[in-house]
Amino acid sequence: MAITARWNRLFAPDGRCLDVAMDHGFFGELSVWRGLEDLPGAVRTVADAGPDAVQLSPGQAMLLQGLPGKNRPALVLRTDIANVYGEVIPRTLFSRLVGDAVEQAVALDAACVVVNLLALPDQPELLRDCVANICVLKPLCERSGMPLMVEPLVMRTGAGGGPYGVDGNADRIVQLVRQAVELGADIIKADPTDDPGDYARVVEAAGGRPVLPRGGGRVPDAEILRRTEALLKMGACGAVYGRNIVQHERPAAMVRALMAVIHEGAGAAQALRTLEGEPAHA
């Protein structure tokens, strides 16, 4: 079945998309979901600001889909759960699909499903789990006309054996992005490279699939806007940002600023001036 109908709900006519990730509580780690304590209120605030999509777990998807009206953002449904984001590295890492993932996505009227492809130091079993998850999802997505977003994340151990963090090594990211494409990804959600100028290599490795850079941890407003502008110039088709929106003191204003950069051609400096000029309640 063709994915066109759902694809056109996810991507704007310009072929770009801002997906606001709000599925952080799914991973069972308190430190990553600050700003989402009142998730119903947070979803309403973000949805009212008008991003292209909102990313949620199966258990919380109706917070978006239950909103009245027909102009709400598209739903991107998270379909796998992993335990890699904690402050302490667990003894055993895992990644598991939710049951009947694509059937749930269809029932929830999702426009897309997203799944991880995790490459962590000395964790081949975790990568094996992720590959198996994608191999299960891909034919189910094909039969249901459901776009498959794969999130190839290269991570490294923190200083002193601390929690895993982003590894921006371009060679490693390109390698994993290509593997995601070979496994059947329709959309790629990947970390930015240490040098934004290397992101053209990531886009090339995606082989024509749209690439949506991931935001990661909270950074200053000017930095995330500059990064977004730079990655778009390298061929990215938008962004998937979570904490840089939901942990902002004015999440709706940040959504509007990012939408201006992604869809309206606003420069980072212009978007920052607009953001800083918005009232505190926005």
Give the tens place of pLDDT for each residue, 111-140.
999 999 999 998 999 999 999 999 999 999
pLDDT (0 to 100) of residue 79: 97
How far apart, in Å, do the first and last CA atoms of the chain sit? Answer: 41
pLDDT (0 to 100) of residue 159: 58
Share of the chain above pLDDT 90, in %: 80
Over the stretch 53-97, which tens digit does the pLDDT of each residue have?
Answer: 999 999 999 999 999 988 999 999 999 999 888 777 888 899 999
Which architecture does CATH list for 4-277? Alpha-Beta Barrel (3.20)
Question: What gap in Å lies between CA 34 and CA 37, rounded to an integer?
Answer: 6
Question: What gap in Å lies between CA 74 and CA 52, rounded to an integer?
Answer: 6
Residue type, position 5, single letter: A
Mean pLDDT of 214-243: 95
pLDDT (0 to 100) of residue 279: 63
pLDDT (0 to 100) of residue 77: 98
Q: Which residues pair with 157 in a beta bridge?
A: 164
Domain boundaries, the chain: 4-277
Question: What gap in Å lies between CA 253 and CA 268, rounded to an integer?
Answer: 14
